[in-house]
Amino acid sequence: MKKEKEKSIRPKQHQQQQPGLETLMKPAPEYEPDTRKLKLAGKVALITGGDSGIGRAVALAFAQEGADVLISYLNEHEDAAITQAALEQLGRKCVAIAGDISDEKHCKKLVSQAIKEFGQLDILVNNAAVQYPQNDLEKITASQLEKTFRTNVFSHFYLSKAALKHLKAGSSIICTTSVTAYRGSDHLIDYAATKSAIVGFIRSLSTSLAAKKIRVNGVAPGPVWTPLIPASFRPAHVATFGSDVPLKRAGEPKEIAPCYVFLASEDASYMTGQILHPNGGEVING
């Protein structure tokens, strides 16, 4: 059997000298930035954990770029109301729905509600998570292990699966993993394991959906000042939280949100299966 000829996507051409002349290239490379416009105009996003922290910052950043948003949260009604009001002040529509994303039925409800309210879904941000510090493996109960994985990992599967029938070419799934997936954490063993699982999920699902032109990427924040920190750690730990990274401080949610805007927009049209690392300067391998 003859080897199939490689299909040409550009005219055959060659230049005699390096580094070469762009003026001779056919077609010419596209280099002019798009005319400035709202990056997410006409888009609809579903963001889990959108009531506070990174989720709230992402919701506001999306709204500033023209998106309407459905935020999912557990039971933090006051925080959710503040986020909803902030988005509405920006002139965007925001729907807030409480419930447990570790329950597949609730995840299906979130997607259905987004379609009911907005008629479409373009961006899914799997962000919400829990963590329960334990100093050694023997203290991690079966109950804790299951709860951490159901909330942090199973919800990614449930929501992405429910969203797929509504996503189309150009849509985006963005998952929040963590620096702990890469460097580990001796007091967050199960949490770090879920974040590693999310990296595998991103890389596998991105390959699965590439033919449909649906991009799947992730963000792996380092220490960020969110409600999860004082809700997880003792006061002494909270007081020094983030001081061990090269920039010597925890990040703010607003410093993380631009990563999500980038990945959700056409600026990242050539990125899928990738992880961004806003982590205060930690060097990551993998």
| Domain spans in the chain, listed from the N-terminal domain onward | 39-276
Please say if the pLDDT value at position 275 is more than 90: yes
> pLDDT of 97-137, one tens digit each?
999 999 999 999 999 999 999 999 999 999 999 999 999 99
Which of 27-31, 207-211, 226-230 has the highest mean predicted lDDT (pLDDT)?
207-211
pTM over the 0.85 mark: yes
Per-chain mean pLDDT for the chain = 93
**pLDDT at residue 225, as a whole number:** 83
Enumerate the active-site residues: 191
> pLDDT of 186-226, one tens digit each?
999 999 999 999 999 999 999 999 999 999 999 999 999 88
Average pLDDT of the segment spanning 172-179: 98
Q: Is the dihedral of CA 153, 45, 220, 33 positive or negative?
A: positive
Q: Is 72 exposed, middle or buried (0-12, 13-18, 19+ CB in 10 A)?
A: buried
Q: Is 102 exposed, middle or buried (0-12, 13-18, 19+ CB in 10 A)?
A: buried
Q: What is the distance between the alpha carbons of residues 52 and 226, in angstroms, rounded to a whole number?
A: 7
- CATH architecture of the domain covering 39-276: 3-Layer(aba) Sandwich (3.40)
Please say if the pLDDT value at position 70 is more than 70: yes
Q: What is the distance between the alpha carbons of residues 158 and 156, in angstroms, rounded to a whole number?
A: 6
Q: What is the distance between the alpha carbons of residues 96 and 73, in angstroms, rounded to a whole number?
A: 8
